[in-house]
Amino acid sequence: MFCDVYDRTTSTIIEAKGKRGAAVVPHGDRLAADSARMLAPAPKRAILATEQTRPDLLRLADAEGITGWSG
């Protein structure tokens, strides 16, 4: 399994994205989902973005059950 960070205390896969744009959430979601399928029970998923993420993309992440953090 490859992911940017796995927090064992909260069972959370965190994908860090250094770029901004519409692809940040969908790309981070695909990477986190790919890693999550190898763990049971299914972990929480989060995306960490270095720049402010658009509100519509944060809503998309929320709808997919992903926590979104942006700077």
Q: Which of the four pLDDT bands, split at 50, 70 and 90, describes residue 9?
A: very high
| For the chain, percent of residues with pLDDT exceeding 70 | 76
* DSSP string computed for 13-31: EEEEE-S-STTHHHHHHHH
* pLDDT value at residue 40: 80
- Predicted TM-score (pTM) of the model is 0.70
Least confident of 6-15, 22-31, 33-42: 22-31
Is the sign of the CA dihedral 54, 22, 24, 66 positive or negative?
positive
Domain positions in the chain: 5-70
* pLDDT value at residue 23: 63
